[in-house]
Amino acid sequence: MRKKRNSQIEFVFQPRTLKITDEYIARYERISKILDKHPEIVDQVHKDLKKLLKGKKRKGGPGRIGFTSDTILRIVICQIMEKESLRRIAVRIDDSRYLRGFVRIYDGPMIDFTTYSTLKNAIRPKTWKKVNELLTEAAVEEELISGEKLRIDTTAVETNIHWPTDSGLLWDTYRVISRLINTAREIDPEAADNKRLQAKRAKKIHCTIARRSRKKGTVSKEAKELYTKLIGLVDRLLEWVPSVCDSLRVGLAANAYGFMESLVVEGVIEELEHFRSLGLKVLDQARRRILDGEKVPNDEKLFSIFEPHTELLKRGKASKPIEFGHMISIQQVKETFITDYQVFEKKPDDKTLIEPALDRHRNVFGSNPDELSADKGFYESLEKIEELEAEIEVVSIGKKGKRTKEESEREHTEEFRGAQRFRAGVEGSISFLKRILGLWRCMSKGWEHYVATVGATVFVHNLLVLTSL
């Protein structure tokens, strides 16, 4: 059974010649002490890893490699702090004496990145939520944070996709399904018949469309002809997929494949059916947009076959009018500690987030804040502001557009302006999450792992905040 923790060895290093090196190491030392002080955090992670490894008895499997849940959690923290990929963080830790000490591998073998990826992905979004709640409760009990001031904001976190175009999505569909069919042919040449794949032709048409694309909203006659050819290729390929899957299932039923081949075939069937369903959506929206000239609503569009949960976000930003990802909300107290976060599959109206945020604040601190601040997007009405002011001493939420005399006077008070100066500080924390901890774009695949990555990054942010308090 997986152990929770390694036997602790003193995590102390000799002073270096550079002050910045000492500060770098000291930061990890302080985080290590926080984790040791609150073992309930590792306990939550341990539950997920134990569940993953239950019943895995194969020699060399993840359950037999000897890495504790504490070590896996610490590697995740390292990866976020160092802003490295799965492969790079394995090399980084393996080559660093102080990082080895922090993750408690010491002089032992380093975990390979594939095993680490499996274990990291096993930590569920709700576990990261719970871990953040435990850290928040600990900070409150130790009086490191207070609930006097609360600021709320939203930001977009991008998914890892290329810019979506109809030809690009069609080509993605064709190349992925072609690759899967070729994999099936390597195992069972008869399963995919003798039909010829035309991936090169499909790619050539896509590249031609991309080179000759015109201004947004216009499609030339030539482009329509090219799109018709590309749509036809994808359509015929998708019609072929069910027969390929049926043939592979017949082979499985007849035990025509070896053990490992059967596992590959099962995976191929699953992926073929998955990408076919997404490909049908791509076909539909391409026909509607390009051939029929229909304006397809954004909520009916598919922006990536690899991250189908991706949402198009229009936030009115001059530098980035359109983003592809999801909205997250954060609520933060004056110590810059993030007391709660939410990840939204569909973009919410900011003004609906105030009451839930106050509910969560009361659950943590037992009372409303003395001061509440947010940007103009959270403004609902003067009546709503007055309701909030009946319970909260200072409510600093500005109004968009023209203001009445009463509204203008309220926004020119020193209390309101002071709270807005406090509110502006949340932008620095958002910038830190994105620039320093890498949350500007989520590289994890799938909705569940996307949410988990946000939770893990907020956790690391809060650990760093506590190290400075």
Domain boundaries, the chain: 19-123, 128-161+309-448, 166-300
Of 404, 401, 463, residue with least CA distance to 432 = 463
Place of tokens 């996307």: 450
Q: Which residues of 350-379 are buried (b: 16+ CB within 10 A; e: fewer)?
A: beebbeebbebbeebbeebbebbbbbebbb
CA distances from 435 to 76, 90, 432 (A): 18, 22, 5
pLDDT at 3: 67
Instruction: Assign 349 to helix, strand or coil.
Output: coil
Q: Are 172 and 183 in contact (CB under 8 A)?
A: no
Q: Please, what is the Cα angle at 16 between 15 and 20, to 5 degrees? A: 110
Residues 6+ apart with CB under 8 A from 307: 159, 160, 161, 445, 446, 450
**Is residue 324 classed as helix, strand or coil in its secondary structure?**
strand
Beta strands in 96-233 (DSSP E): 149-159
**Which alpha helices (DSSP H) does 337-445 contain, by range?**
354-365, 382-389, 405-411, 414-431
Residue 320 in tokens: 């980035």
CB contact set of 217 (below 8 Å; sequence gap of 6+)? none
Angle at which helix 69-82 crosses helix 113-121, to 10 degrees, equals: 100
3-state percent helix, strand, coil for the chain, nearest multiple of 5: 60, 10, 30
* pLDDT in the model for residue 219: 66
The three-class DSSP label of residue 188 is: coil
The confidence score (pLDDT) of residue 321 equals 87
What does the pLDDT read at residue 407?
84
Residue 63: its pLDDT value, please?
44
Q: DSSP readout, 274-293? A: HHHHHHHHHHHHHIIIIIS-
Collect all residues with Cβ–Cβ distance below 8 Å to 119 and sequence separation of at least 6.
49, 52, 62, 67, 72
DSSP letter assigned to residue 376? G
Q: What's the rounded Cα separation, in Å, for the pair 438 and 423?
A: 23
For residue 229, what pLDDT is reported?
A: 96
Domain 128-161+309-448 has what CATH class?
A: alpha beta
Other CB atoms within 10 A of residue 397 CB = 25
Residues 11, 103: Cα–Cα separation, whole Å: 10
Mean pLDDT by 10 residues, the chain (469 residues): 60 64 90 96 94 60 66 97 94 92 91 92 97 97 96 96 96 97 91 85 94 66 92 96 94 92 95 97 95 92 97 83 95 97 95 95 96 94 91 93 86 94 96 96 96 98 96
Q: Which amino acid is at 76?
A: V
Smallest CA-to-CA distance from 274 within 305, 299, 251, 250 is with 305
Residue 424 · residue 398 · CB < 8 Å: no
Distance CA 75, CA 144 (A): 26
Cβ-based neighbours of 160, under 8 Å, separated by 6 or more: 307, 441, 442, 443, 444, 445
In this prediction, residue 13 carries a pLDDT of 54
